[in-house]
Amino acid sequence: MYWILCAILCVQPGISAPDDADAHRRAVARASDLMRTGSVDWNSTLVTRPTRATPSSRAQTATPVLEETAQAEDPETRLHALEALADSNGIEHLDRFLRALTDPVPEIRDLAAGFLARQDAGQVFDQFMNLLARGGAEGLARLDVAIPLLRAGFEPRLLQVLSTPDESPARKRIAAYCLGRMNSVAAVPALAECAWNADEPIALACVTALLEVRDPVVIRRLVDLAAHTLPSVRKAAVDGLIDVGGPEALAALGQLALTPSDNEDAAREAVLALGAMKMEAAIPLLIEVMRKNVAARRSAVQALRQLTGDDAGDLPSDWQDWYERRLKAAQSNNEQSQESPYEVEYMK
């Protein structure tokens, strides 16, 4: 039946190119009529009264055409195709309507939102999760732009997935990713707790999601995770603090580097992160680390050399003298560069 429909819809006099907007509109109109009236006996020489079609017969006839034309470049064609799909009220079209939430045409976005609002919320959520699980990275890429728009309805359900012990690892990773894309501050505690999971991919997904949430509350969680037993998770947390940057992240890394603990690797990684932040304020912190955390002293010297491009030796006192000379030189340069008001006015 499908090939008969395609032949009737597309192989007509005057329709030479499949991407022609008028051809798409005519195809949508015919497919929409078929969705409403049912199947037609195309083999009959006389057109008789159409019979009512079952949902399965419609799916074999008009749906493939509408699915294709819903992706047309012409906005009117997309709108008509989605209207016909919405009339069929089939949850199997969910991915089309999710992607339509970000369509540049307001009427299409409103149509998609209205369709989704009419569906059972639990069914939509389950179908959404199944779509992402089946589609893998490609499925995430297709629906990625729509995820932030689903926060109001999906955030509580995603949090439940994250906190349910017997949920599959794949669903937990998807939940973490979506909460991060939604910039869910409410999910920060659950993401941080789940990041201590022994399953490394889940833990990494949660740390990555935390980094998507741009809120100062994340810094404290990343500091805790910088002492994780899994090296990959620990590195992701420290790299995240470097990426966040700023005085708060600097102070948090300094605290981690200054505190001697059983996890010497965590302290060393925090010290090296201080050097990688390329901030002048990291220099006195690293000198203090040399004094107070002997186990991390060698890493602190390495970070100072990387940060300053200089080498004052291996002792904290030598670096302190070097830093004081640096401050005095900077102050002197500033004084020399200052100009009198008369000179400034004259130069104008």
Whose CA is closest to 257, among 268, 244, 265? 268
- Which pTM value belongs to this model? 0.68
**53 or 63: which carries more pLDDT confidence?**
63
| pLDDT over 70 at 305, yes or no | yes
DSSP symbols for 159-173: HHHHH-TTS-HHHHH
Instruction: For residue 42, name the pLDDT band (cuts at 50, 70, 90).
Output: very low
Please answer whether residues 280 and 307 qualify as being in contact, where contact means their C-beta atoms are separated by less than 8 angstroms: no
Instruction: Give the pLDDT mean for 142-151.
Output: 85
Does residue 135 surpass a pLDDT of 90?
Answer: no
Q: What is the pLDDT of residue 311?
A: 92
Exposed/middle/buried for 234, CB within 10 Å: 0-12, 13-18, 19+? buried
**Which residue matches tokens 């992240």?**
249
Distances in Å between the alpha carbon of 215 and those of 81, 98, 179, 184?
41, 27, 14, 9
Q: What is the pLDDT of residues 161-206, one digit of tens each?
A: 999 999 999 999 999 999 999 999 999 999 999 999 879 999 999 9
101 neighbors 146 (Cβ within 8 angstroms) = yes
Q: Residue 299 has what pLDDT?
A: 92
Identity at 210, one-letter amino acid code:
L
Size of the chain, expressed as the number of residues it contains: 348
Burial of 1: CB neighbours in 10 Å, binned 0-12, 13-18, 19+? exposed
pLDDT at 55 over 70: no
Q: Please report the pLDDT score of residue 62 as a whole number.
A: 63
**Helix (H) and strand (E) counts in the chain:** 19, 0
The contacts of residue 327 (CB under 8 Å, 6+ apart) are: none
Res. 226: pLDDT tops 50:
yes
What one-character-per-residue DSSP string does 111-175 give?
HHHHHHHHS-HHHHHHHHHHHHHHHHHHHHHHHGGGGGGGHHHHHHHHHHHHH-TTS-HHHHHHH
**Mean pLDDT of all residues in 203-219:** 94
How far, in Å, CA of 328 to CA of 170, rounded?
Answer: 57
- C-alpha 242/C-alpha 236 separation (Å) is 10
Q: Return the domain boundaries, the chain.
A: 1-39+58-92
Please give the pLDDT value at position 142: 75
DSSP states of 253-291 as a string? HHHHHHS--S-HHHHHHHHHHHHHTT-TTHHHHHHHHHH
Q: Are 227 and 192 in contact (CB under 8 A)?
A: no
Rounded Cα distance between 311 and 105, Å, is 60
Closest CA to 99 of 148, 150, 145: 145
Note the pLDDT tens digit of each residue in 263-288.
678 888 889 999 888 899 999 999 99
